[in-house]
Amino acid sequence: MKKIISLIMAVCFALSVSAQQQGEDVVYLNNGTVIKGVIEDVKENVSVSIRTRNGELLTYPAVEVRRFTYGTEAVIPQKGNKPTSHKDYSTFNTGFWCAVELQGGYSLNLSKKNVGMTELDVVGGYRFNQYAKVGLGFGGRYYFNNNDVRYSSVKWAFPLYLNVRGNFISDEYRSVVPYYSMDLGTAFRDGVFFRPTVGIRVGSERSAFLLGLSYMGQQLKCFKTNADTGNKLAHKKYTSFITLKVGYEF
C-alpha cells in the first residue's frame, strides 16, 4: 500500500512540475533576449517585471519589450501614451519587410583581364515567416576597370531582380543565425544574372544586420579583338563574380 501511495505522489509531483513549466511566463526583448519565470508586474506603457527561475526580479522598460506571454497567451505591450492607428510591422511574424544592402567584388577570369564592381540595392516584399521571404530588389552598380572587359564606356548598370531569402534555423532564442538569399533578374546595360548568398544575420527577428558571401553569374556585353583586323567586336559572355555583402534588414 505504501508503494502505491508513493507512486501516486511521484506522478502528481511530476505532473505539477510539467504544468508549471508549460505555464511559465516569458518576456521577449527587442534585442533577442528571452527571460523565463513569473511576471509579477506590468505597468502599461512603462515597464514589465518578471521574477526569474533563480528568484531574481528583473524590470524592463516597455520600449525594450517586443512581447510577453502568460503561459501560452501572447501579449504585445503598448508603447505610447496616446492611442494610434499606426501598425508596428516589426512585431508581426508575417507582413512587409525591407532591406538595404551594399556589396563589392571581383570577376574570376583567372587567365584574362578582370573587372571589379560595387552595388547598392534596396529590397522589399512579403514575409511568410522567418524561413521564407520574397521580394523585389533594384539598385545601382558601378564597374571598376570597366574598359578592360565591358564593351561600353558607361560604367553603370542597374539591377532589377526577384529575391527569396530566409533563416536556416530559428532566431527566436538566438541573436546570431545563418541565412540564405537568392537573386534572379537582369541588369540594364548588361544582361540576366543570378546570385546565391549565404551569411549570418545578427540582431532580433525583425531588425538585424547582414553579412554574406555571394556568387554572381552575370551575362556581360564584353569585347574581343579580331585577329585579322585588330578591331574590337562585341559579344555576350557569362562572367563569374565573388562578392562580399553587408546590409540591414527590418
Task: Give the model confidence (pLDDT) of 103-127 as tens digits.
Answer: 999 999 876 789 999 999 999 999 9
Confidence of residue 221 (pLDDT cuts 50, 70, 90): confident
Same domain? For 106 and 68 the reply is no
CA angle in degrees (0–180, nearest 5) for 228-144-161? 100
The pLDDT of 184-213, averaged and rounded, is 95
Sheet of strand 65-70, all strands in order from the earlier edge strand to the far edge:
57-61, 47-52, 34-43, 25-29, 65-70, 73-75
Q: State the CATH number of the domain containing residue 193.
A: 2.40.160.20
Same domain as 173, residue 240 = yes
- Residue 19 in any domain: the answer is no
Percent of residues, the chain, with pLDDT higher than 70:
78
**What does the alpha-carbon distance between residue 127 and residue 207 come to, in Å, rounded to a whole number?**
13
Same domain? 118 vs 241: yes
> pLDDT-based confidence at 73, cuts 50/70/90?
low
pLDDT in the model for residue 11: 46
**pLDDT, tens digit, 9 for 90 and up, residues 4-13:** 555 555 544 4
- Please indicate, yes or no, if residue 1 is contained in any of the structural domains: no
Cell numbers standing for residue 95: 507582413
Q: What is residue 78's predicted lDDT score, i.e. its pLDDT?
A: 55
244 and 163 in a common domain: yes
pLDDT above 60 for 80? no
User: In the predicted model, what is the mean pLDDT of residues 14-22?
Assistant: 45
Q: What is the separation of C-alpha 53 from the centre of its chain, rounded to a whole number of angstroms?
A: 32
pLDDT tens per residue across span 130-181: 999 999 999 999 999 898 888 888 999 999 999 999 999 988 778 999 999 9
Q: 3-class SS at 126?
A: strand
pLDDT at 14 over 50: no
Contact predicate 47/68, CB 8 Å: no
Beta strands in the chain (DSSP E): 25-29, 34-43, 47-52, 57-61, 65-70, 73-75, 95-107, 116-129, 132-144, 156-167, 176-188, 192-204, 207-225, 232-249
pLDDT at 229: 65
pLDDT of res. 15 = 43
**CATH of residue 60:** 2.30.30
For residue 109, give every residue at least 6 positions away whose Cβ sits within 8 Å of its Cβ, in sequence order, or none: 149, 239
Show the domain range for 35.
25-80
Helix (H) or strand (E) holding 19: helix 2-22
pLDDT given for residue 61 in this prediction: 92
Q: What is the pLDDT of residue 113?
A: 86
Per-residue pLDDT, 94: 83
**pLDDT above 60 for 244:** yes
Please provide the average confidence, as pLDDT, over all residues in the chain. Answer: 84
Do 57 and 103 lie in one domain? The reply is no
What element of type H or E holds 147? Answer: helix 146-149
Structural contact between residues 50 and 29, judged by C-beta atoms closer than 8 angstroms: no
The pLDDT value given to residue 74: 53
